[in-house]
Structure 1
Amino acid sequence: MSLINVSKLTFAYEGTYEHIFENVSFQLDTDWKLGFTGRNGRGKTTFLNLLLGKYEYSGTISAQVGFEYFPFAVADPAALTMDVMQEIDPEMEHWKLMRELSLLRVSEDTLYRPFESLSNGEQTKVLLAALFVRENQFLLIDEPTNHLDAKGRKLVSDYLRTKSGYILVSHDRAFLDNCVDHILSINKTNIEIQKGNFSSWWENKSRQDQFELAEDEKLRKDIKRLSDSAKRTGGWAHEVEKSKNGTRSSGNKLDKGYVGHKAAKMMKRSKSIQQRQESAIAEKSKLLRNLESADSLKIAQLPYHKQQLVELEDLSIRYDDKTVCSGVSFALEQGDRISLSGSNGSGKSSILKLICGEDINYTGHFARDSQLSISYVSQDTSQLKGSLSEYAREQGIDESLFKSILRKLDFSRLQFEKDMSTYSGGQKKKVLIAASLSEQVHLHIWDEPLNFIDVISRMQIEELLLEYTPTILFVEHDREFCANIATKQVVLD
């Protein structure tokens, strides 16, 4: 066991005035299985790069171990996978590599295929095997789940559970819960470490948020009461002061000593109220700093004149000589939230594109009303550029609602002014989801919408979908999201 010490870390990207980290200090144990969570854009990948020494910073980071980052950069994807492994670690022992590949259920012949011919899931597993062959390194694992289907995620999560000495960035709750024993979270105003998995961290955070909300409400009432008392006391003091040079209504001369004593007493009381009010305001300012946005939104889907929107019966899809799926049968009705699942390459995206109206070769029965209006969220975000306002106009959506949804998903107003091409992968996916939810349509079709999106935003997207209950067909590998959202599941074998 050794420690990684971070002391007074401060960092901002060159040319910006925003600090990603400011005077941050904490310690990490190199034996921990550490889950790393936080909103998109809060600095998770930046922190990993600081550990790797890629940027200059103020403060200190000290460690008695080296750091290794996943995913590795592959210089020549056309090379044999074995050659890629040798390039990553020229001193790699073959038997150790085979041990790790066996645990990840990757066959040896995979090493003798071109790396680029492997599926995304196979590439992820091979690179993870190369990572865990290395010794005396603290491993920085950045979003390994993005190209894994549900079975692959479970396999990799079980694999990581047998290991230790890593930071894992993942937005999949079930994945994190299965394989981490500590959580490092980047909050709005601080960084904290807790023992346990993601669910225990979230439960503690929710408890703290509820406590702070109750305290905030109590202090609001106290501040208002003290403010009203201060006004009354101030009014009384003013009247007493005015009466110093006056006379009683009976004509008797005023006792100025008595009046002065009363005025001093009121002044003392006024100062006491003011101090209590300032103390309450100071206490209130310490609360809700890490409360995530929870504003309610008004979203409505267009009703359709038919109950059944789409029907597939004994449907098969082929590309050239390859059948990607066959015997698919299901109906999509208004109010359904259908999860379409299956292993990579089972035809999920092809079915979504067929329903959206793309020219896909199929056999069997497929029916979709030509008047059906659909909003489609694809996996690809590369087309996003320009300003959010321009994008809202191009899409014909309500800009105010569009930006309100993005605000709920942790977009700052400063982010609204930036070109979308500068956004992170998670921020771009949020743009597509917010735009889809702003469209006036009968049906939403989303293809792996949560890739790169942070876990808190995933939970808020769930809340939106459960609150306004749109008809939706989606492909998503996040098991928690599917379990919470889907009213029906269609599984492609």
Structure 2
Amino acid sequence: MILLQCSHTSKSFGSEVILHDVSLSVQTKERVGLVGANGAGKTTLLKIIGGQMESDHGQVSFAKDVQIGYLSQNSTPNSSRTVWEEMLSAYTVLLEQENELRSLEDRIGDPQVLADRALYRKVSDRYALLSEQFRITGGYTFRADTRAVLHGLKFLNNDFDRPISSLSGGQKTRLALARLLARKPDLLILDEPTNYLDMESSVWLEKYLQSYPGAILIVSHDRLFLDNVVGTIYELERGKTTRYTGNYTSFLKQKEQLFGQQMEEYKKQSHKQNQLAEFVQKNMARASTSGRAKAKLKQLNKMQSVEKPKSSVGKTRFSLDAGLASGSDVLNLQDIAVGYNGTVIANNINFDLSRGERVALLGPNGCGKTTLLKTIAGDLIPIHGDIRTGFNVEIAVYRQEQDFSGTTTVLDQLWNQYPDMDEQDVRGVLGRFLFHGEDVFKPTCDLSGGEKARLALAALLCKKANFLILDEPTNHLDYQGREALEDALLDYPGTLLLISHDRYFLKKLAQRVLELTANGTIDYPGGYDYYQDKRQDFQQKQAVETASKEDIKIGSAKSFYLETKEREKNERKRRRRINQLETLVHDTQSEIDLLEQELSQPDSSSEYHIYQEKGARLQDLQRLLDQYLEDWVSLEEEID
């Protein structure tokens, strides 16, 4: 069934056409990715679908009674509630049902209700119906589900009671995402959901969405995220959409094949048209061949012209020159500690870089990665330790935040950095980064995030350094810009040290991974896939070794062994108890069903004391069932 149908939608802002005759559909349980260059209109289209903006033409329609959940790029809940209260506000129906169930339980135990057979039957029937609805819609698990979502998006237990007003902008956006996931709408519309997520949370969200029961429409620059989540891609280009079946990588291959087929068709028809035109020109004036020439002219006029296929809008292509080669040893760090104003953020850092290596520096947010890069680049002084660069090493740095706040034009910004270049060469470099015509006179303070990133890359190109330090270079770049940067860095003959949350980027580029931890760096001598495979094993081994060393120090290796066995024993007990509870729930529910059936029979009240006994037994069973379910949920949460 089609949940969303967007037909012939158009939208303009003044004279600028953003969307022109756009069509898109999402079916039940379908996972759809919407991709396109920056400024192509992806967010505008989502706002129209989400009801936050009206289109100029066209229609957006939804299936009857479909529930829509829309997360914009900067969704920030503002209320006086706490984090936990905000999450529970997504379950208003379940909370109302829960309150009614408690009230019905009290009424069933009321002597006046017990004495009135008709009233008792009415109350018990309502309770049976409501408790079943409550169970089916997740009434016994929604609190556990809520905790799991919050934990997955990096909210700790002690964050639950925090007021929303005390959260950062990124935390508010994550909370808005968590609340939306808790609602479980039929159609989930997400605009850049991984923007404020670290790598671990992005992986968690991927797995969550892979098993999500509804349909999903996503805009994201995270290409590996799209690869792992979606099965359909719509590309928005030149105001129109093209549909591709498959994930992001499949889309790229299909698009390249389609372009090749269209170009081949265009060439064939152009060749045929040229042949016909040439024949007509040569033979029209000759009496012996004019008849054939007229027939060819008629054939030529009837031919439907095939439009020459256009390459992607705003496609960046560039290469990075490393200048003079460095020595084989590029960088050596010995016992480095980094931080600000004497406060250590990361220490015990030791590693070497050799010429031509492409190394990724990874670690959780806040562990000191950017601080370490700034220290290597010379922006900060190490708190202690020794940093040595090798022979003829020339460093260029791409910083995460570009400081283009002044009124200097784009042209002057680059020219001032490289005054020995002539204007034509500067304009040529800028043109390769999509600054054309009057764009070069735009003040840098008015540039978008993507434009600032492209200007910084243009400056990097001009430096011709043999050691590049890159801090989140794909931020603000669209997928075409990211691919262009990847291609340039793959061909770059110098040395790379980079930070990135873009796992697709890392998979293509990294030959080696350095993980920054609280105890220093861990060296993974392989690419990103190797790092993922080895990291978990390494951490488990490290945890066992650390625990063993501590036990040896305090002479309690036996205690550690016994504690481990006790934990395993308790785990087995919990799982056995869960199995017992599941059996008890099943048996109790069966007995409840049987009693309710007996009490509903016309002659069931003929012996009043037996009727009362069965009614009292039914109440006891309902309480037991609630207790069993509560214990089951509690044990499941402990295991999680």
Q: TM class, shorter-chain normalised?
A: 0.7 to 0.9
**Counterpart for residue 404 of structure 1:** 431
**Counterpart for residue 47 of structure 2:** 49
**Counterpart for residue 22 of structure 1:** 20
**Counterpart for residue 477 of structure 2:** 453
Out of 170, 175, 190, the residue aligned to residue 240 of structure 2 is 190
**Counterpart for residue 340 of structure 1:** 361
**Counterpart for residue 416 of structure 2:** 394
For residues 276-305 of structure 1, give each alpha carbon's deviation from its aligned partner in whole angstroms, at most 9, with x where no partner exists. Answer: 7x64xx11x1x4235466686454222145
Equivalenced residue count is 459
1:34 and 2:32 matched? yes
CA spacing shift, 1:99–1:489, aligned 2, 3 Å: closer
Out of 139, 148, 155, the residue aligned to residue 188 of structure 2 is 139
**Counterpart for residue 487 of structure 1:** 511
CA spacing shift, 1:417–1:190, aligned 2, 3 Å: farther
CA distance in 1, matches of 2:90, 2:400: 29
**Counterpart for residue 5 of structure 1:** 5
For residues 99-144 of structure 1, give each alpha carbon's deviation from its aligned partner in whole angstroms, at most 9, with x where no partner exists. Answer: 5325556433222245577688765543321111225463321212
Out of 312, 329, 336, the residue aligned to residue 315 of structure 1 is 336
CA contact (8 A) 2:232 2:246 kept: yes
CA spacing shift, 1:321–1:366, aligned 2, 3 Å: closer
Pair member with larger Rg:
2
Distance apart, 1:475 and its partner CA: 0.5
CA spacing shift, 1:71–1:416, aligned 2, 3 Å: same
**Counterpart for residue 262 of structure 2:** 212
Distance apart, 1:359 and its partner CA: 2.4
CA distance in 2, matches of 1:120, 1:352: 25
TM-score normalised over the length of structure 2 = 0.63
Distance apart, 1:354 and its partner CA: 0.7
CA distance in 1, matches of 2:270, 2:454: 34
Of structures 1 and 2, the one scoring higher in RCO (CA 8 A, sep 6+) is: 1
Distance apart, 1:350 and its partner CA: 0.9
CA contact (8 A) 2:326 2:466 kept: no
**Counterpart for residue 168 of structure 1:** 218
CA spacing shift, 1:82–1:370, aligned 2, 3 Å: farther
SS state at 1:331 partner: strand
CA contact (8 A) 1:188 1:290 kept: no
CA contact (8 A) 2:430 2:436 kept: no
**Counterpart for residue 539 of structure 2:** none
Structure 2: gaps of 5 or more residues? 96-141, 518-640
CA spacing shift, 1:331–1:273, aligned 2, 3 Å: farther
Out of 100, 109, 129, the residue aligned to residue 178 of structure 2 is 129
For residues 187-211 of structure 1, give each alpha carbon's deviation from its aligned partner in whole angstroms, at most 9, with x where no partner exists. Answer: 3362023333212222221221222
CA spacing shift, 1:171–1:412, aligned 2, 3 Å: farther
CA distance in 2, matches of 1:150, 1:217: 46
- Matches for 1:72-471 after TM superposition, within 5 Å: 73-74=75-76, 80-82=82-84, 85=87, 95=143, 97-102=146-151, 104=153, 106-113=155-162, 125-136=174-185, 138-163=187-212, 164-188=214-238, 190-233=240-283, 237=285, 240=286, 259=287, 262=288, 264-265=290-291, 267-269=293-295, 271-272=297-298, 274-275=300-301, 279=304, 282-283=305-306, 285=307, 287-289=308-310, 291=312, 297=318, 299-304=320-325, 306-319=327-340, 323-368=344-389, 372-381=393-402, 383=404, 387-396=409-418, 398-407=425-434, 419-471=443-495
For residues 71-118 of structure 1, give each alpha carbon's deviation from its aligned partner in whole angstroms, at most 9, with x where no partner exists. Answer: 564366998534665789988967253353255564332222455776
Distance apart, 1:390 and its partner CA: 2.9
CA distance in 2, matches of 1:433, 1:310: 23
1:473 and 2:471 matched? no
**RMSD after superposition:** 3.5
**Counterpart for residue 246 of structure 1:** none
**Counterpart for residue 255 of structure 1:** none
CA contact (8 A) 2:9 2:20 kept: yes
Structure 1: gaps of 5 or more residues? 241-258
Aligned-partner residue type, residue 307 of structure 1 = S
CA spacing shift, 1:483–1:8, aligned 2, 3 Å: closer
